[in-house]
Amino acid sequence: MEPTQGIMYTVDIQEVPPVHRTRHKTILKDVRALDAADVDNRPVNLIFLDAHLVEPQMAMFDRLDEAGLISDAIVLAFHDTHLWPYPAADWAVKTPEGFMHRSAERDMVTIFKQRGWDAFMLHPTFGAMKAGGLAFRHGMVVMQRYRELKTSWE
C-alpha cells in the first residue's frame, strides 16, 4: 500500500539518489539557499541537521520559520554531536571529555536550547560502548520546543 501523506526532502550540494520514487524529493543546492518554495510551501515536521555549518543551517531554519512552515511540534535531529574517545580524524579537536568531530551541530544544540528548546542527547558513555561491545557512535541530539503537558482540560 502506497503512503498517502508526507514527503522527505533532502538538501545537498551533491547528488543524492532518491530512496522512494514519489515520497522523496532531492534538492540539489546549498542549504543556505533553501526557501519555502523548495519544500513546496508545506509545513515541515522533522529536520535532520548534518551540514556541519552553523550559519547556513540556522538561516535555513529561520527562513522556514518566518514562512510559517515550522510548528511547535517540529522535531529537530542533530547528527555528530557526541565526542570521540580518540582522535579518529586529522581534524578532531581535543576537549576535556574527548575529541570533537565537528562543532557546528553541537553549537546549534546550544543555540536552540537558549531559544527554549528541550534536548534529548543520545550519547552513550565511552565505557558503556566498550563494555557492551558496541561500535563507537557519532551521537545525536533530538530537540523539540517545550510545551506544557496539560493534565486537565477545564
The Cβ-side half-sphere exposure at 2, using a 13 Å CA radius, reads 7
pTM here is: 0.85
Task: Delimit the domains of the chain by residue range.
Answer: 43-145
Q: How confident is the model at residue 140 (pLDDT cuts 50, 70, 90)?
A: very high
Four-residue CA torsion sign, 128, 132, 133, 136 = negative
pLDDT of amino acid 47: 94
36 compared with 129, residue with greater pLDDT: 36
- What is the H or E stretch that residue 127 is in? helix 126-131
What is the rounded CA–CA span in Å between residue 136 and residue 87? 12
For 61-70, write each residue's pLDDT tens digit: 999 999 999 9
What is the rounded CA–CA span in Å between residue 109 and residue 40? 27
What is the rounded CA–CA span in Å between residue 118 and residue 145? 6
Q: Hey, what's the cell of 70?
A: 515550522
Ranges 7-16, 21-30, 135-144: which has the least confidence: 135-144
* Closest-CA residue to 48 (of 27, 75, 72): 75
Average pLDDT over residues 3-31: 87
* Other residues' Cβ atoms within 10 Å of the Cβ of residue 23: 14
3-state secondary structure of 23: coil
What is the rounded CA–CA span in Å between residue 117 and residue 72? 10
pLDDT of amino acid 54: 95
What is the rounded CA–CA span in Å between residue 26 and residue 19? 9
Contact assessment for residue 52 and residue 30, using Cβ atoms and an 8 Å cutoff = no
Q: How confident is the model at residue 1 (pLDDT cuts 50, 70, 90)?
A: very low
